[in-house]
Each structure stands twice: as structure tokens, then as C-alpha cells.
Amino acid sequence: MKKENVKTIDLLQEGTLLPPAKDKCQQCAVKHEEGQAHDGNSLYYQYWFMKQHKRWPTWSDAVEHCSPEVKEFWKKQLKAHGVKI
């Protein structure tokens, strides 16, 4: 099957993220309590972060805004699931 007129776009350069629903976190598009970690696996968060910081996020980035206690909780939970942070 011949592909004609197929255009590939660079999502980072040409793409636009649709905003998350108003009841979701505006940075990761997931519903979580204020002060909790962003969802580091959220595709929205990954592209939002890349557009803001010109690099892909890490789990450390996802918890950076949290209190020291919340950061420690998330680090322990992520480590227990084999995630390096």
C-alpha cells in the first residue's frame, strides 16, 4: 500500500496540548490533592514539562514542589516499586 501525502509532525515544535479538565491538575492532567506529586507517567505532564524546561522530567521533578514529608513518602513508595529517584 502506497502512502501519499503523509506528513509527520514534531509534537514538541508543532503540536499543541489541549488543556486538562478544570478539576484536574493543570500541569499533569491528573486529579490529585494540592501538594501531592504530579503523575510522572502522565504524557501530558511529560510534554508540558519538556516545553517549559527543554528536557524530559524525572520523578524528582514530579515531587519537587512537595513538602519534605511528602517528598520522602513518594520517594519511599517509588523505590518500593523499583523506580529510581
The structure's pTM equals 0.80
Domain of residue 45: give its range: 11-80
Domain presence at residue 57: yes
Domain presence at residue 2: no
Domain presence at residue 45: yes
Q: What is the mean pLDDT of residues 9-33?
A: 90
Is 75 buried (19+), middle (13-18) or exposed (0-12) by CB count in 10 A? middle
Q: What is the mean pLDDT of residues 5-34?
A: 89
At 1 the pLDDT is 60
Q: What is the mean pLDDT of residues 55-80?
A: 96
Q: Report the C-alpha gap between 42 and 61 in whole angstroms.
A: 13
Output the CA–CA distances (angstroms, integers) from residue 15 to 12, 58, 61, in the order listed.
6, 22, 23
Domain count, the chain: 1
Q: Is 90 exceeded by the pLDDT of residue 8?
A: no
At 14 the pLDDT is 79
